[in-house]
A and B are shown apart, each in its own frame.
Chain A
């Protein structure tokens, strides 16, 4: 799929699109979104005293019902992924390995993502270090939400009260971690000017080849070639100075 577009200088540029996410993956991503947001909003009603009016009486009963309905979608989403596309799920899980390039990413992340400096970002895989960290928090928080939530939902009065109390606290702690990560995720997807390709990928399933070469070199070129290119670039830069 090739797209012709005009850049700001009026020149025609060719964008070559390569596939990144399957239809199922994108569908489940948005299914996760439409369950997470209602869960967050209805949960905050019990969390923030300023929203207390919405927690009281009939309104509160509705909040708790919506929280449960959304929870069903939230729990079902990764399970469906495992059933429908187990190989794709495995492919994604395999991405979660960390090495020296991840350290390099962390060192350069502030300069690149906040200050906009094109620092020597080491080559990244299909997911960069930040995306992997987001993934780890997402998976861990999903598990924690589901376990603590189901115990509070179905275990009230059955499990010891002391356990229930800790489940309430853990649910809240998990929420704090997940929401901080979600805010960063949302910012990078919709607001960060350098990350324009991310939302395109999640909407249409494709990414630009040049974007992939720059941001996900180990995935685009393969780890060996990506390393050679990275070393060559570094050498050139040091010879220039």
Chain B
């Protein structure tokens, strides 16, 4: 199945935040209690992704040669081609679908939160109900799995009035993104680029950026955490071998000693 992707053209985004509203509306997320407006001297709102805010427009004040402009970035799950969150999830609540979407089944999640700590972008948000009990649930953008499963557009793409969001086959999205970058460069945006084509197995969320990624606060070279591979591919198999060998070894030792000694001699 062809990989799907979302193309986000940040050169067209007007930061109306219709996507944020559509996301909350479709996914039935609360507006207030987890995403309180905090005035920290900017226009962005809410202040960060949260268990009830799966996408939001990040505002960056960018100054270049004395000229000021806003940079807008639609944050959310990157749907990596190599999703570390899926590798570390002990419940299979997180899954990578054949079309590349990283989906979430909340009923299976036990709240361990490994995904939130192994994600190279820090995207999954853990909603903690009790710190002592550990009761928690994870949440993140699923590309509106219930909509996209049925051939509909993700809610944010559907609603975007600036036509800055696109959804479709990943190859097509990459081609369109590159075309747009070419055009932007010809128009004088010399730093324009397409972000995410090859990062972490190829992202499912591609950005057309008008400035360098670091200007948006995006990681230039995000990595699938090496600790994920050590844990999943070395420690876990090693542990099983060690425990199995111990049990077999002790059983053999027991058989040998029962044959070698006479119980009557034991004082």
Q: Is A115 interfacial (CB 8 A cutoff)?
A: yes
Indicate if the CB atoms of B256 and A60 lie closer than 8 Å. no
Cross-chain contact of A47 among B126, B236, B253, B266 (Cβ < 8 A):
B236
Chain B 205-238 interface 0/1 with A at a Cβ cutoff of 8 Å (1 = within): 0000000000000000000010110110001101
Q: Which of B110, B111, B134, B256 has the most CB of A within 10 A?
A: B110
- Asked if B135 contacts A187 (CB within 8 A), the reply is no
- Interface of A with B (CB < 8 Å)? 7-9, 45-48, 52, 55-57, 59-61, 63-65, 67-68, 113-117, 153-154, 156-157, 161-162, 164-166, 168-169, 172-173, 175-176, 179-180, 183-184, 187, 191-194, 196, 208, 210-211, 214
- The reply to whether A156 and B126 contact each other, CB–CB distance below 8 Å, is yes
* Beta-carbon contact of A193 and B112 below 8 Å: no
Residue B117, interface by CB 8 Å: yes
22 contacts between A and B (CB under 8 A): A8-B263, A55-B90, A57-B107, A60-B112, A64-B133, A65-B133, A68-B134, A113-B253, A113-B257, A114-B257, A153-B134, A161-B122, A164-B117, A165-B225, A168-B117, A172-B235, A183-B247, A184-B250, A187-B250, A193-B257, A193-B261, A210-B267
Q: How far is the CB of B94 from chain A (nearest CB, A)?
A: 12
- Is there contact, CB below 8 Å, between B227 and A166? yes
> For residue A187, which residues in chain B have a CB less than 8 angstroms away from its CB?
250, 253-254
CB–CB A68/B93 < 8 A: no
Interface contact B92-A52, CB-CB below 8 Å: yes
List 8 extra interface pairs beyond A172-B236, A192-B254, A196-B266, CB under 8 A. A8-B263, A47-B239, A56-B92, A60-B109, A64-B111, A156-B113, A165-B227, A165-B231
Contact A183:B260 (CB < 8 A) given known A56-B91, A61-B110:
no
Q: In the bound complex, how far is the Cα of B230 from the Cα of A166, in angstroms?
A: 10
Chain B residues within an 8 Å CB radius of A191: 250, 254
Whether B91 and A52, one on each chain, are in contact in the complex, defined by CB atoms closer than 8 angstroms, is yes
Chain A contacts of B65 at CB under 8 A? none
| Given A173-B235, A196-B266, residue A180 in contact with residue B257 (CB < 8 A) | no
Q: A142 to chain B: closest CB distance in Å? A: 19
Distance, CA A153 to CA B130, complexed state (A): 11
Given contacts A172-B235, A176-B243, A183-B250, contact A157 B116 (CB under 8 A): yes
Q: Which residues of B contact A176 (CB under 8 A)?
A: 235, 238-239, 242-243
Task: Tell me if B108 counts as interface (CB < 8 A to partner A).
Answer: yes
A47 proximity list for chain B (CB < 8 A)? 90, 236, 239
Chain B interface residue count, Cβ-Cβ cutoff 8 angstroms: 49
Query: What is the interface of chain A mostly: helix, strand, loop, or mixed?
Result: helix
* Complex CA distance for A165 and B87, rounded to whole angstroms: 13
Asked whether, in the complex, the Cβ of B235 is within 8 Å of the Cβ of A57, the reply is no
Provide the bound-state CA to CA distance between A54 and B108, in Å.
10
Residues of A within 8 A of B126 (CB): 156-157
Q: Which residue of the partner chain A has the closest CB to B234?
A: A169
Q: Contact at B110–A60, with CB atoms within 8 Å?
A: yes
Considering only CB atoms, which chain A residue lies closest to B131 in the complex?
A154
Tell me whether B132 is interfacial, beta carbon within 8 Å.
yes
Q: Does B258 sit at the interface, judged by CB under 8 A?
A: yes
Please report the C-alpha to C-alpha distance between residue A196 and residue B266 in the assembled complex, in whole angstroms.
9
Checking B91, B135, B236, B263 against A193 with a beta-carbon cut-off of 8 angstroms, the contacting residue is: B263
Q: Mark B80-91, 1 if CB is under 8 A from A, else 0.
A: 000000000011
Asked whether A55 and B263 contact (CB < 8 A) given A115-B256, A172-B231, A191-B254, the answer is: no
Residue of A nearest to B240 (CB): A48
A66 to B194 CA separation, bound complex (whole angstroms): 48
Tell me, yes or no, whether B118 is within 8 Å of chain A by CB.
Answer: yes
